[in-house]
Structure 1
Amino acid sequence: MKQLVFWLMVGLLRLLSVLPYGWVARAGGALGALLYRIPSRRKRIVLVNLNLCFPEKSDADRHVLGRAHFRHVLRSYLERGVQWFGSHRAIERLVQLESHIDLDDPDAPPTIFMGFHFVAIEVGCMLYSTRFPVTALYTPMSDKRLCALAARQRGRFGASMMLRSNSARTVVAQLRTGQSVMLAADMDFGVDNSVFAPFFGVPACTLTSVSRLARLGRARVVPFVTEVLPDYRGYKMTIFEPLKDFPSGDDATDATRMNAFLEQEIERLPDQYYWVHRRFKNRPAGMPSVY
């Protein structure tokens, strides 16, 4: 039965990849709005996160934001059809690229492209890989077949996909040879190799891996964000200027700066950040669980 469900899902994604993008996006948004009406664990997680991060908003405003987020999340699931199975040309048609650095600079230093879990993060990474060599770190999924499929399709344009676990030594070696690495470090992966840094004023368990890899690999850290454009016009990937004086030598300071940058982008795109993730899963000693 699991195998049948897997192949049905693959078939559906392949079908969605050839349908007009606007149709798929509208269908995903409608499905998300419908599912928001139904009580669920994910809806509760979203509202807990929004309550913690936006205490100044009314309950009604947080529900409006939560509903808009559900629309984006379900859209992103259906839009994986074109993201995972669309052609090189289809990806380039859908994604605009704006870079504040010269991506063609042959003398550029080793670079860590630091992404964040907005709903369109995958398609931005794929667009980059159609133009430039890159190693992309990823976290394994619980379903091994789905994980293998995702890694294969995400890397089909040339990105070298690497499991996040036990990858530090290889990443450092690649950075020292001038290769670029893409990763996201804004989720709660446990207290090991993490510090508690403020995120909208709430202590959030924040990975220190970006600082350590940048220090050991002698690399600059360049943030990027991929957003969903309005009116079903696709996506826009923005590559920002490198973070100045990063790493600083203090992991807590660096984690705070990372979170502060992310907060600015969330303020701009509040419904597109991945609020369904338990961002505050781990808490400082003595603080109760929020989920």
Structure 2
Amino acid sequence: MKWFLGLLASLPLGLGYALARVLYFLLYHLFRYRRNTVDENLRWAFPEKSDAERRLIARASYRHLCNLFIEILSSTRLRQSDMSERVTFPNLELLANATENFQKQAIVLLIHQGNWEWMLHAAMDQMGVSVDPVYKTLHSPFWNQFMLDARSRFGATPMPIDRVGREVIRGRKRKRLIAMLADQAGPKAAGYWRNFLNRPASFYRGADKLAQSMNLPVVFAQCRRKGIGHYEVLFQEISLPPHDADPELILERYVLAAEAAIAEQPETYLWTNRRWKKTPPESFLAKQTHNDTEAESIAETRENPL
């Protein structure tokens, strides 16, 4: 497997993208890789769209997924400057101001959109600061090690999500950005539950707690595709110290920013992810029922005033 991936990574990007078109045909049409999952995710996320519109998004997302696979493989042999030329940061000054020109740590929240791997490498090159990604251990030891090697290639220090608190405290004097793909499924009991793309979803309580306890600024990074193999990253302020007393507001603002980014360019989001497989706890369902009942009562009062 390793030699085969190395062979694919050595291909010129143009030839790699041609191979991605073949891979798209195999995954989407022949093997129907997670087609049911993608269709269900899109039905929930975009109930206002027609079946034909959702099919167009699905097909475009599979094409992007196949291109992304080639790009991630190529990141194991491309120069950092090559990726930096393909990823731009139009409003980098927002992040620079939040971190006082990168003199202190900050949390950068991401989603599985665009090319988050190239974004990490390009950010390190253009900002001159370490970008240390937080990762969730993959089930496959091979792919887990592959991604760790790729992400640490230029000096970054990946941190497992179950040890991120200790790692951040230990390296609190370092100048760095802590990158979190925060749209991954969090724990059922201890997670932050909220509707995400019209379905209950759990989020890890990591970014909000770290930001509160260590006075770290929190910024959202939206990775937009500008063309095949070219991206731009737009930063958006989520919360700056001193933070609001309610730490959940950080995750709430993140979810709103994530939903807006997905709505803007849905075909570049990772719809094959089984993001909503966890069943929400009874406490969340009871809260949702109460909110729905309250909303119906308010609507009825407005329609039938005394």
Distance 1:58 1:210, change over 3 A: same
Q: Which residue identity is paired with 1:81?
A: L
Residue in 1 aligned with 2:17?
A: 25
Q: Does 1:279 align with 2:272?
A: no
Q: What is the DSSP-based 3-state SS (H/G/I as helix, E as strand, rest coil) of the residue aligned with 2:112? A: coil
Q: TM-score, normalised by structure 1?
A: 0.85
Distance 1:106 1:284, change over 3 A: closer
Q: Does 1:174 align with 2:171?
A: yes
Give the Å deviation of 1:263: 0.8
Q: Does 1:44 align with 2:40?
A: no
Between stretches 263-272 and 246-255, larger displacement belongs to 246-255
Q: Within 2, Cα distance between the matches of 1:106 and 1:121?
A: 22
Give the Å deviation of 1:242: 4.4
Structure 1, unmatched stretches of 5+, are none
Distance 1:28 1:41, change over 3 A: closer
Task: Report the count of equivalent residues.
Answer: 278
Q: Which residue identity is paired with 1:8?
A: F
Residue in 1 aligned with 2:302?
A: none
Q: What is the DSSP-based 3-state SS (H/G/I as helix, E as strand, rest coil) of the residue aligned with 1:227? A: strand
Instruction: Among all aligned residue pairs of Structure 1 and Structure 2, give the percentage whose two residues are the same amino acid.
Output: 22
Give the Å deviation of 1:190: 2.6
Q: Does 1:54 align with 2:46?
A: yes
Counterpart pick for 2:204 among 207, 210, 217 = 207
Between stretches 271-280 and 32-41, larger displacement belongs to 32-41
Q: Does 1:121 align with 2:113?
A: no
Q: Within 1, Cα distance between the matches of 2:59 and 2:51?
A: 12
Q: Does 1:65 align with 2:57?
A: yes
**Does the CA contact (< 8 Å) of 1:85 and 1:153 recur in 2?**
no
1:228-259: CA deviations, max 9, x gaps? 222x3522222333435785343544332211
Q: Which residue identity is paired with 1:127?
A: A
Q: Within 2, Cα distance between the matches of 1:150 and 1:187?
A: 16
Structure 2, unmatched stretches of 5+, are 286-306
Q: Within 2, Cα distance between the matches of 1:51 and 1:246?
A: 39
Across the aligned residues of Structure 1 and Structure 2, the Cα RMSD in angstroms comes to: 2.5
Q: Does 1:101 align with 2:94?
A: yes
Residue in 1 aligned with 2:234?
A: 238
Residue in 2 aligned with 1:262?
A: 258
Distance 1:29 1:228, change over 3 A: farther
**Does the CA contact (< 8 Å) of 2:215 and 2:241 recur in 1?**
no
Q: Within 2, Cα distance between the matches of 1:179 and 1:267?
A: 30
Q: Which residue identity is paired with 2:144?
A: C
Residue in 2 aligned with 1:229?
A: 226
**Does the CA contact (< 8 Å) of 1:205 and 1:283 recur in 2?**
no
Residue in 1 aligned with 2:76?
A: 84
Q: What is the DSSP-based 3-state SS (H/G/I as helix, E as strand, rest coil) of the residue aligned with 2:188? A: coil
